[in-house]
Amino acid sequence: MIRTSSTPTQREMLFALTHRIRLATGSQLGRTSGGPGSTALESARKTIATLERAGFAVSFQVRAHPELSLEQPICTWKPGSPTPAFGVISYRLRVRWIEAPEVITVYAASEKAARRFAGHGGRLPHPLQATHDLHMTGVFLQLRERSPEEAALWVPEEKFANKRRGQKLPDAEIQDEKGRTLKVIEFGGSYSPERVRKVHEDCERRSVPYELW
């Protein structure tokens, strides 16, 4: 059984898929279990195959844009800083989508895993969000590499959506042990200047720093 005799790699991957990210490609899973490189990728493939056989993971295909290289946020802001140039940020977000969507195999926790480990799982309720969800995985992995302490406090939208009905929901937040928001994390698709402004105004109103990737 995965729960009682699992390896550290299996536990880490399953925790990520049920509590941090919604889905991942094989190469992204390699980065959850040892970093880039063929060895990590092969290890990740073996691990996810074991989880699939145990009924704790599922694989399926989605149509999505290839993963962008997310080395740093497009915009960072904290209370007291100048108001960003929304038009410039919007342009930088939109011009990076130069490759055509393609069919990609992705992995997610199963509904069984979601129930067993009190997290989320199952196939995407909205397949058109696959590009967004894969890039949120990329943001999480980048944050985990540069700031493991913050990544350990990562809370995805699913965890607080029911508590904030009628409010604007960011993609993820960095929260302290009492559930207080320390930072907002947002991934921008082809955001218009108006949508960028709404992200900013929500965080400004709450006096919360944000990163827009």
Question: DSSP labels for 29-87?
Answer: HHHHTT-SSHHHHHHHHHHHHHHHHTTSEEEEEEEEPPPP--SS-SEEE-TTSPPP-HH
Neighbouring C-beta atoms of residue 87, cutoff 10 Å: 13
Range of the domain at 12: 2-212
Q: Is residue 141 within 8 Å of residue 127, measured between CB atoms? A: no
Beta bridge partners of 106: 60
**The predicted structure's pLDDT at residue 1:** 44
The pLDDT of residue 35 is: 52
Contact 73, 185 (CB under 8 A): no
Angstrom distance (rounded) from CA 129 to CA 62: 10
Calpha distance 107→86 (Å, rounded): 35
Residue among 173, 180, 170 at smallest CA distance from 201: 170
Contact 168, 160 (CB under 8 A): no
Three-point CA angle 77, 159, 162, nearest 5°: 105
Give me the pLDDT at residue 7, please: 86
Separation CA 68–CA 130 (nearest Å): 13
* 213 residues of the chain, pLDDT tens digit each: 455 457 888 998 999 999 999 999 999 998 876 555 567 788 888 999 999 999 999 999 999 999 999 999 999 999 999 999 999 999 999 999 999 999 999 999 999 999 999 999 998 878 789 999 999 999 999 999 999 999 999 999 988 877 776 678 999 999 999 999 999 999 999 999 999 999 999 999 999 999 999
Q: What is the pLDDT of residue 4?
A: 45
Number of domains in the chain: 1
pLDDT at site 31: 83
Beta bridge mates, 58 = 108
Strand ranges in the chain using DSSP code E only, listed in sequence order: 57-64, 75-77, 102-109, 154-156, 172-175, 181-186, 210-212
Distance CA 171, CA 18 (A): 16
What three-state secondary structure class fits 194? helix
